[in-house]
């Protein structure tokens, strides 16, 4: 692949912008005879081996080549999962421009959040520009479990846990909505697992059993847990192992 096309495919701007980055000496490729050395390349038509593990550098930052992007973000409080936020800053501002500007793949341009978290909810958010992956992870038919750490205002009682597991009726749905699992981890704290997503679902479920959510944090999707060393506002590439874990449906018993 030519260097200009590689940068364009990874979201570094139009082909003219990518050519400018290259001609200004801002792009480096791994030296052919070394796994550590980097060489500035000013030839827009230079051939690039996209299979080389080191990837490439733009303005001193190293990037892997990814046909499709899969990332995890630790969403901080006070942010919205929207590209056009109404009140709070968008989570997309936490990502580098190249992830937001990746060329359209089908109906998806740039990475998109798979599901949303409320502005005051923190934790694991997965984003991708792979339309099929987004659909599979979002589909209620897949029953992908999502685990939330819930801090309640009042002590959580055994009867409240029983009702959450049996199912509660929300205002907009006559069908009972139940938790796939609910484990008490403190007097005011539970780990709540859901396999479907509705508007403010956790908050409304707690309200339906006579309690109230004070803090809400999503720490696992499927079998993938938010890395302990990923601070709020930070993001990371998802490895093939992490993607397999995301798609898994661990035992909920």
User: Taking residues 141-153, what's their average pLDDT?
Assistant: 93
Lookup result for tokens 């397999």: 244
Give the pair of three-digit tokens for residue 109. Answer: 């341009």
Condensed to tens digits (0 to 9), the pLDDT of residues 221-231 reads: 999 999 999 99
pTM of the model: 0.91
Contact 69, 111 (CB under 8 A): yes
Condensed to tens digits (0 to 9), the pLDDT of residues 97-118 reads: 999 999 987 778 899 999 899 9
Domains along the chain with CATH numbers = 3-63 (3.10.290), 70-141+223-247 (3.30.70.580), 145-221 (3.30.70.1560)
**Confidence label for 33 from pLDDT (cuts 50, 70 and 90):** low
- Rounded Cα gap, residues 48 and 1, in angstroms: 5
Give the pair of three-digit tokens for residue 155. Answer: 């002590």
Lookup result for tokens 């699992």: 181
- Rounded Cα gap, residues 14 and 228, in angstroms: 36
Q: Of 43, 49, 118, 129, which is the active-site residue?
A: 118
Give the pair of three-digit tokens for residue 252. Answer: 């909920």
Contact 10, 102 (CB under 8 A): yes
- Rounded Cα gap, residues 111 and 236, in angstroms: 13
- Rounded Cα gap, residues 49 and 42, in angstroms: 16
Condensed to tens digits (0 to 9), the pLDDT of residues 134-145 reads: 988 988 778 899
- E strand or H helix that includes residue 76: none
- Rounded Cα gap, residues 129 and 230, in angstroms: 21
Contact 154, 211 (CB under 8 A): yes
Characterize the bridge pairing of strands 70-75 and 235-237: antiparallel
Condensed to tens digits (0 to 9), the pLDDT of residues 36-47 reads: 689 999 999 999
Contact 245, 137 (CB under 8 A): no
Contact 42, 23 (CB under 8 A): yes
Closest by CA to 64, choosing from 51, 76, 55, 77, is 55
DSSP 91: G
Give yes or no: 251 in active site: no
pLDDT recorded at residue 78: 97
Q: What values do phi and psi take at 121, rounded to 5?
A: -90, 140
Give the pair of three-digit tokens for residue 210. Answer: 């006579």
Contacts of 241 (CB under 8 A, 6+ apart): none
Closest by CA to 225, choosing from 151, 148, 152, is 148
Give the pair of three-digit tokens for residue 228. Answer: 């302990």
pLDDT recorded at residue 253: 37
């Amino acid at each position: 692949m030519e260097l200009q096309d590689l940068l364009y495919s990874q979201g570094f701007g139009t082909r003219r912008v990518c050519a400018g980055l290259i001609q200004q000496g801002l792009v480096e490729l791994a030296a052919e005879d070394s796994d550590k050395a980097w060489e500035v390349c000013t030839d827009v038509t230079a051939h690039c081996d996209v299979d080389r593990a080191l990837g490439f550098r733009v303005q001193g930052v190293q990037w892997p080549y990814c046909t499709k992007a899969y990332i995890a973000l630790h969403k901080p409080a006070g942010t919205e999962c929207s590209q056009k936020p109404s009140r709070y800053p968008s989570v997309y501002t936490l990502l580098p421009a190249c992830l937001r500007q990746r060329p359209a793949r089908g109906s998806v341009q740039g990475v998109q959040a798979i599901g949303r978290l409320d502005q005051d909810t923190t934790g694991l958010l997965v984003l991708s520009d792979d339309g099929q992956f987004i659909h599979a992870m979002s589909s209620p038919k897949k029953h992908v479990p999502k685990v939330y750490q819930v801090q309640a205002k009042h002590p959580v009682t055994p009867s409240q846990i029983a009702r959450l597991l049996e199912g509660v009726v929300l205002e907009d749905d006559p069908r009972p909505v139940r938790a796939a699992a609910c484990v008490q981890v403190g007097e005011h704290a539970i780990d709540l697992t859901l396999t479907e997503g509705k508007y403010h679902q956790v908050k409304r479920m707690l309200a339906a059993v006579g309690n109230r959510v004070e803090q809400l944090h999503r720490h696992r999707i499927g079998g993938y847990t938010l890395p302990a060393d990923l601070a709020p506002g930070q993001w990371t590439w998802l490895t093939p192992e992490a993607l397999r874990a995301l798609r898994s449906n661990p035992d909920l018993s």
